[in-house]
Structure 1
Amino acid sequence: MLRLSLQDLVLRVKICKLGDVEQTLLEALDPPSSKNIRRAIDALKEVKALTNGENLTPLGSQLAKLPLDVFLGKLIVHGAFFKCLDASLSIAAILSSKSPFVNTMGSNSQKDLARLSFRRGDSDLLTVYNAYCVWKRIRSTAGGNEYSFCRKSFLNSQTLLNIEDIKMQLVVSIADAGLLKLDASQKATLNRSRYGGRQRQFFTIPEEYDVNSTNDTIVNSVIAWSFYPKLLTREGKGWRNVANNQTVTLHPTSVNKQSDASLKWLSYYHIMQGRNRNYNAFETSAVDDFAIALLCGEVEFKVCLPTLYPGVAYVYIYNDTNFTKMYSGVISIDANRIRFSVRDWKSMLALKVLSARIREILAGTFRDPHKMLSYKQRQWIDIWQQIFTQAAKRNA
């Protein structure tokens, strides 16, 4: 079963034009509090599903068509656009289900080793996705022993089947929304995969929507863009939540728990307070600062040309009690929630142009998913693809 959050209900009130959100929801048999309704509306504004005037944005209209939490809906919408749809759909289904890794009596070290054997891309989500993909491959291979594999890997085969069922529901939803175009043959294959029971044939996402699911850098970036502002930055030996400046620790089962200092940024899906009163982040994924600057939040690019100091790439300015180095470029996200200093202002201007063009193309796709991209728009997407393909090679 897919569950709806209060945010999803707000979107449905908006898309059905039922009037004032708060008044409509307060008339329910078990109404939420006004405070929680206001929190849901504010959260929808932050993910750009609602305008400041509380009207649906083009993105919000697309999210309202999906039976999902808005962050998972964004993940699927972005996954379709950035051609990593299988990974995005699978991760959304995984997060809508319980973990496929079993929690049985026995050695924790064996379970941890089994889980880490699927480690991928410094990401808890890609790690589970990798285990799911291996399970699918074994089930689809003649002579493959699914039960032996699941037993050795501490995986629950029924949970994996449930994840597959949810994934197929989501495929139908995005096809109905126009985000995925299927021909008659593909639709027939999809129907067989939904109703085939344990002997089902798996449905394969069309290649034109899925050339990047094997690119960990792209998938991790799409996750971060979709979950923003759910973002952690390294602070000393720990982590800080950029949304509220809380100190956060990573859950002990995270593949990033023992990560080295080179890992600076992590997206996450949810945070829970543990028995020790620490806040633990779950479902973390590494993300590059370049990706954050490109498409997270409202971004400002500020060029600080050294006109007063010819030949100098930066100047020093006095700030409170000490001198701060002012680089030739500053990237500010959401009124300085995140700041990056850039030495090369030409590179920053190139990033500014690329960010603006990708955001424009995304907005147009949200307004009309059926509209084909123009030649110039495809060129910008090709540039984006080349940059992130090269980044993936550097990260490998």
Structure 2
Amino acid sequence: MESLLVNPISKASAMQRAGRSGRTGPGKCFRLYTAYNYHHDLEDNTVPEIQRTNLANVVLTLKSLGIHDLVNFDFMDPPPSEALLKALEQLFALSALNSRGELTKVGRRMAEFPLDPMLSKMIVASEKYKCSEEVISIAAMLSVGNSIFYRPKDKQVHADNARKNFHSGFVGDHIALLNVYNCWKETDFSTQWCYENYIQVRSMKRARDIRDQLEGLLERVEIEPTSNPGDLDAIKKAITSGFFHHSAKLQKSGAYRTVKNPQTVHIHPSSGLAEYHPGGLSTMNLCLPQKNICDRLLN
């Protein structure tokens, strides 16, 4: 699980920031901490990115290049061994590696996509569920990040209502993003449609470019483009095959508990499902099986 934590910056980073103030003209740098903090609490240098992030993509790339001895590989800044083990475990769970740590056929296909392994597994799995066209649209929209919708301060209610239209039928955020892309495509990629629905035009154009690249890569890994827009279950199965690490069970308290390494989590407020929880969608899913049991007892 990734999280944003507040950490002290390094002395090198502080000096680099101070240099900004006098770059193009006279300037001053005010530090919002004491000299004691600077000398005793800050590290000399920033921790390299490779030692702080998920290494699944790095490991998959190295394996596809034929480099199998990752422990003795000459990294410029060697990452912690625990991070390497976690990456290998994740790739094994995604069927990219076999029990001996060798690349599988699925792993070779995944390595062709310049994406997070979970996204690339989702695309590879879409071949089985005959919905690759829809899945690459979702992957492209996810690659853009959280910059699809915007909320002007003077029109927040209109923007929220426009967004709700894409979540009709209690669909999750992935299907909602697919609906956004398909509707934009039906309007012949209209800029005016984006303005009317409070959607960032630049982000949509970037998503279209990414999707075109992914479509070309489908041919490269010999996945036939297939479309199955009516079968949302097939699309959800393809998504779940890549993102099962993120699965969580709904508790009686209304919170969720992650399946792997149990931890209490909640739906993010920016999610389209947030307003249906816990009184709407989630509770409904809890009540339905109970109701069926009652019906059977009555009969």
TM-score after normalising by structure 1: 0.53
Distance in 2, Cα, partners of 1:7 & 1:231:
18
Matches within 5 A, 1:307-346: none
One-letter identity of the residue aligned with 1:175: E
- Structure 2 residue runs of 5 or longer lacking an equivalent are 1-52, 290-299
Matches within 5 A, 1:121-132: 122-132=171-181
Structure holding more strand per residue: 1
Structure holding more helix per residue: 2
SS in 2 for 1:229: helix
Of the candidates 99, 124, 127, which is equivalent to residue 52 of structure 1?
99
1:378 corresponds to: none
1:176 corresponds to: 220
Report if aligned partners of 1:100, 1:155 keep a CA contact under 8 Å in 2: yes
Q: CA deviation at 1:87?
A: 1.2
Aligned CA distance change for structure 1 residues 255 and 19 (closer, same or farther; 3 Å): closer
2:118 corresponds to: 71
- Structure 1 residue runs of 5 or longer lacking an equivalent are 141-145, 181-204, 265-288, 290-396
One-letter identity of the residue aligned with 1:130: N
Q: CA deviation at 1:162?
A: 0.3
1:234 corresponds to: 250
Report if aligned partners of 2:151, 2:160 keep a CA contact under 8 Å in 1: no
Q: CA deviation at 1:226?
A: 2.3
1:91 corresponds to: 138
2:27 corresponds to: none
Of the candidates 262, 266, 279, which is equivalent to residue 245 of structure 1?
262
Q: CA deviation at 1:163?
A: 0.2
- Identical counterparts, % of pairs: 26
Q: CA deviation at 1:238?
A: 1.9
Paired residues, what number? 227
Of the candidates 236, 242, 256, which is equivalent to residue 220 of structure 1?
236
One-letter identity of the residue aligned with 1:262: M
Matches within 5 A, 1:285-296: none
Q: CA deviation at 1:5?
A: 6.0
Matches within 5 A, 1:70-219: 70-98=117-145, 99-120=147-168, 122-139=171-188, 146-180=190-224, 205=225, 209-210=226-227, 212-219=228-235
Deviations 1:46-86 (A, max 9, x none): 22222232122222122112211111111111112211111
1:262 corresponds to: 284
Deviations 1:82-105 (A, max 9, x none): 111111001111111123112543
TM-score after normalising by structure 2: 0.70
Deviations 1:318-342 (A, max 9, x none): xxxxxxxxxxxxxxxxxxxxxxxxx
Q: CA deviation at 1:147?
A: 3.1
- The structure with the larger Rg is 2
Of the candidates 28, 32, 37, which is equivalent to residue 79 of structure 2?
32
Distance in 2, Cα, partners of 1:130 & 1:112:
16
Distance in 2, Cα, partners of 1:124 & 1:89:
15
Greater RCO between the two (CA within 8 Å, min separation 6)?
2
Deviations 1:109-130 (A, max 9, x none): 3322111111155211111110
Distance in 2, Cα, partners of 1:124 & 1:106:
25
One-letter identity of the residue aligned with 1:162: R
Aligned CA distance change for structure 1 residues 228 and 249 (closer, same or farther; 3 Å): same
- Alpha carbon RMSD of aligned pairs, Å? 2.2
